[in-house]
Amino acid sequence: MIENQSDNIDNKENDISDQDNVPEDSQISEDTVIDNVESSSQKREDINTEDLKNTISNNDARLEQLEKEHETLKNQYVRISADFDNFRKRQSRDQDDLKIQLVSKTITSILPIVDNFERARQQLKPESEEAQALHRSYQGLYKQLVEVLKQQGVAPMRVVGQQFDPNLHEAVLREPSEEFKEDFIVEELQRGYHLEGKVLRHALVKVSMGPGKQNSQEEVEKDKVEEDIDSEENTSEDV
């Protein structure tokens, strides 16, 4: 028993002695391996960091490109939307203009009938009961016709006492007037009409030349006659 314990002690001492006798080359190799492992780990970390930086840089560039594409598409959408809105408004205007043209053509052919109604109303002077009944019937028809025109957007012009406007009026006659200034309308010869704010038919009017125009014109003609007489007298004297 004592011998076995002694042997174990000897073996342990031998192991310790063996460990102490490890060659130096073996220790250097282990250090080199550790250094290589650490170096490899550092390189991997450097590579990962570089890859991460490249990834972030690529993502930033891609994001900037996407933002530019988004801005371009947004501008295109705004332009297309504006063009479509203008197209829709233009189509609406064209449809309104076409409607007005069609209505104008129809109503223009009816206006002479309205003129005849108005002339007849001015000339009719019912005296008997039968004539008054006929006049009331006529007035009812005239009111119906005027109401239909109103529903179509037709409105008569009021021109007497207004200043002459070639865009609205057509001057047929000019005469002196003590009541109205020059270029003001004295009388309406044929009524003009608007349709939806546009001129359907120009009003035929008589325009004032202003006060004193007639006298001055007569004086000019008188002076001209006197000059002709004087000229004839001078010619006869020469003969």
Calpha distance 190→112 (Å, rounded): 10
Phi and psi angles of residue 81, each rounded to the nearest 5 degrees, phi first: -65, -45
| Residue whose structure tokens are 């031998």 | 14
Is 94 within a domain?
A: no
Q: Please tell me the predicted confidence (pLDDT) of residue 51.
A: 75
pLDDT in tens, the chain (239 residues): 444 444 554 554 555 444 444 444 455 555 565 655 566 666 666 667 777 777 888 888 888 888 888 889 989 899 998 898 898 888 888 888 888 788 888 888 889 988 888 888 777 777 777 777 877 888 888 888 889 889 888 999 999 999 999 999 999 999 998 888 899 999 999 999 998 888 999 999 999 998 864 444 444 454 554 555 555 544 444 43
Is 181 within a domain?
A: yes
Q: Please tell me the predicted confidence (pLDDT) of residue 165.
A: 92
What's the total number of domains in the chain? 1
Q: Are 145 and 117 in contact (CB under 8 A)?
A: yes
Calpha distance 41→205 (Å, rounded): 106
Look up the domain containing 202 and give its range.
154-239
CATH number at residue 233: 2.30.22.10
What are the distances in angstroms from CA 45 to CA 31, 48, 179? 21, 5, 107
Is 223 within a domain?
A: yes
Is 217 within a domain?
A: yes
Is 168 within a domain?
A: yes
At position 156, the amino acid (one-letter code) is P
- The tokens describing 36, both together, are 């290589």
Phi and psi angles of residue 195, each rounded to the nearest 5 degrees, phi first: -135, 110
Is 169 within a domain?
A: yes
Residue 159's region, left for phi above 0, alpha for psi from -120 to 50, else beta, is alpha
| Residue whose structure tokens are 């590579």 | 47
What pLDDT digit, counting tens, does each position of 119-178 carry?
Answer: 887 777 777 777 778 778 888 888 888 898 898 889 999 999 999 999 999 999 999 988
Is 229 within a domain?
A: yes
First to last CA, the chain: 194
Is 8 within a domain?
A: no
Calpha distance 100→157 (Å, rounded): 18
